[in-house]
Amino acid sequence: MKTHKISVVVTAYDHEEYIAQCLDSILIQKGTFDLEVVLGDDCSTDRTPQIMEEYAEKHPGTFILLPPTANMGVTKNIKRCLDACSGDYIAFCEGDDYWIDRYKLQKQMEFLESHPGYSMCFNAIMLYYENEKGYLPHTEQFRLDKDTLTIDDLIEFNVIGNFSCCMYRTDTVHKLPAKLFDIYTLDWMFNMVCSRLGKIGFIRNWMSVYRIRPHGVWSGKSRADQRQAMLAAIDSYNQFFNYEYHDQFHKLKNKIAVQYGDNPNREVPFWKRYGGLLIRAITHPRKACNSLLRALSVAFAELTAAAVSAKDAQIAKLCSTLQSKDGQVAVLSTQTAELSSTVRTQDARIAVLRSLVQVKEVDLLILDTLFPHPLSRFRLEEFRAYLRQFKNSMVLSSGEHLPLVKETKSLDIIIGEFESLHPELRGRTKVTTYDIDGYNAKLACLIFLNNVTYFLESLEEKKIPFVFTLYPGGGFEIDQEGSDSLLRRIFNSAQFRKVIVTQQITYDYLVKNNFCPEDKTVYIYGGVMPLDILNKSEGYRKKCFGFEKDSLDICFVAVKYMPMGIDKGYDVFIEVAKKLTQLHSNINFHVVGNFTEADIPVNGLEERLTFYGFQELDWFDKFYMDKDIILSPNVPFVLLKGAFDGFPTTSCVEAGLRKVAVFCTDELKLNNHFIDNEEIVIIPHDTDGIAQIIEAFYKEPDKLRSVAEKGAAKMREVFSYERQILSRVKLIESEMHTLWK
């Protein structure tokens, strides 16, 4: 069987700080292929060429160092690198990017091998913001409801993002027209042309990092320069394709103009212009008769058949019907004195409009970006409780954050699955945009800083008071101006009523820094836990090390938000596992979440380490039955400056309630409820220190079981329904009572 060769193109310009990390991430690739790496430096002014030369000298059979030339520019440099490739497949890794999956090339090669009709494929990318020293996923990629893209998809949005996540068939690259390299060609245009030669496949795994830096080729441009470059490129690309996709490119130019806020002549849909007026008028018809008639009159005057969508056309027809009803065309232009005689007929007209524009009035409006996804367990419990407690309540969910849990189903499907499990709540959860059109409420409830920010403008426009829970994460960061400005914006809103905080550090930060007064800041330690776990906790039966079983089983449960899960301490967990396996043959390790053996080398752990991936809530009942320790060496301010996890993490609480001993870090000294070494074990963020602590408990299984049992009892108390759900319900009821006075 033929062994395929993969060529990796590395282009660079002044990447001295980054090129070694880039090349190292290529060298560690594993798989059944031969590798060649083509190095193309574009006349850098720093040490990039020298570093490339050093790597080429160390790995003469792998690296091909192209000779230095005068500065060629991005496109010509790409072309000369491609001409030097001799592999069956071609991948890119730009000099300031790097890969985070050792099997990236193998996975992409296998995809193209099994999908002969595809010209290329790309993987999900992680964005690294150099100034902020933090990682975020490219959420636009996971909004995709498809795994196969066409040129129409790419014109609408460059969802691929950059070259470093792509792999191409070499025969596809050879078919690219020569004139492509005569224009300014970056990944977007390159991939559009490739899409005409075959389908594009999307592999939904984070396997590469795209570095966003102040002086990057694109990210270093000002907004004005980005706009100018994009519009110029669109015109060039439109011409390249002989205007075959003119309509799509024209729409894109309008979209860019709107995005950059510099197109006052852009067409605004009828519903955007007049929907708000109509809804407000309909909400209070008799009080706003003049407003309604003015809105209809102006709308009819401005509406043209060429500028309306299907829904706009419906509204236009309604407006026309209202004007001409009973031949009374003059009704809409009558003077104020005549309007009183039209009130009765106006009610009928409003009823017609209401059939198209329903404004639902509720007592409590719950706004979110992920509900009712089953992986967000605390959301399910908290929001279900509100829906049951407040009969006239609704959840409006945007689904914005489904990509963070790697969900590919649509929000509609997820809602349908939720309602099949909870038929009594059918029709109480709807998909929404941040405009929350068609709904009004006496009070709104939200969680997380970012979520409040998303919906804030609409809440203020509709004058809906709101309360929210400021959990750790979700945009909240200590001593960070970006987060602080959002806090100030929210707390200064006329609609803000109360904020619930769950950690002492959050309470102190808000009050001591004068973000929010004490009387509006409510401290409810912890978080909401699923009731079924709480109810089963006391009678939960499990096997313990040294009693019902001979093996010590240690687990790690988390979501990976950044390479190697450093913020969650996955790197430390693996090192602890390696250390302990050298000492004992009866210690096993278990990892739940989006981690694989490709994240960090697990040499020597193959027979002792098991990966389970993401799992549903019910699965954990059986999983934790024979687990002794959950290890959580998480560390604050790594994922993003100022970002931290709550104490203990949700995963630790869920394990602890099932009588698994919780071993976790507490770098911020957040623990003020659990007795160390009796109900919980506080560990350092240090491999040797953790190993020593576990070694001590290994020698005293009875003490380990005692910590697990006492910890479960304390967690049942701290995270009880009364302390968590009822406290929140009472706060909401109190605010509603105040508003109804």
Render pLDDT for 694-730 as a digit per residue (tens, 0 to 9): 999 999 999 999 999 999 999 999 999 999 999 999 9
pLDDT recorded at residue 259:
61
12 and 85, same domain (yes or no) = yes
pLDDT band at 507 (very low <50, low <70, confident <90, very high): very high
pLDDT exceeds cutoff 50 at 335: no
Q: Measured between alpha carbons, how far is 367 from 447 in angstroms, rounded to an integer? A: 8
Average pLDDT over residues 610-624: 91
Q: Cα–chain-centroid distance for residue 437?
A: 24
pLDDT recorded at residue 738:
82
- Residue 477: which CATH number? 3.40.50.2000
149 and 32, same domain (yes or no) = yes
pLDDT recorded at residue 375:
84
Q: Express each pLDDT in 519-569 by its tens digit.
A: 999 999 999 998 888 888 888 889 999 999 999 999 999 988 888 899 999
The count of domains in the chain is 4
Phi, psi of 622 (to 5 degrees): -75, -40
191 and 278, same domain (yes or no) = no
Q: Which domain holds residue 459?
A: 360-523
Q: Express each pLDDT in 83-132 by its tens digit.
A: 999 999 999 999 999 998 888 999 999 999 999 999 999 998 988 888 76
Q: Is residue 735 part of a domain?
A: no
Q: Is residue 231 part of a domain?
A: no
pLDDT band at 206 (very low <50, low <70, confident <90, very high): confident
315 and 372, same domain (yes or no) = no
CB atoms within 10 A of CB 693: 19
382 and 481, same domain (yes or no) = yes
Give the least confident one: 14-28, 286-300, 408-422, 677-691: 286-300
Cis peptide before 372 (omega within 30 of 0): yes
Q: Report whether 527 contacts 724 (CB < 8 A).
A: yes
342 and 371, same domain (yes or no) = no
| CB neighbour list of residue 2: distance below 8 Å, 6 or more residues apart | none
pLDDT exceeds cutoff 80 at 269: no
297 and 375, same domain (yes or no) = no
pLDDT exceeds cutoff 60 at 347: no
337-366 in b/e burial notation, b at 16+ Cβ within 10 A?
eeeeebeeebeebbeebeeebeeeebbbbb
Q: Could you tell me the pTM of the whole model? A: 0.58
666 and 559, same domain (yes or no) = yes
pLDDT recorded at residue 183:
86
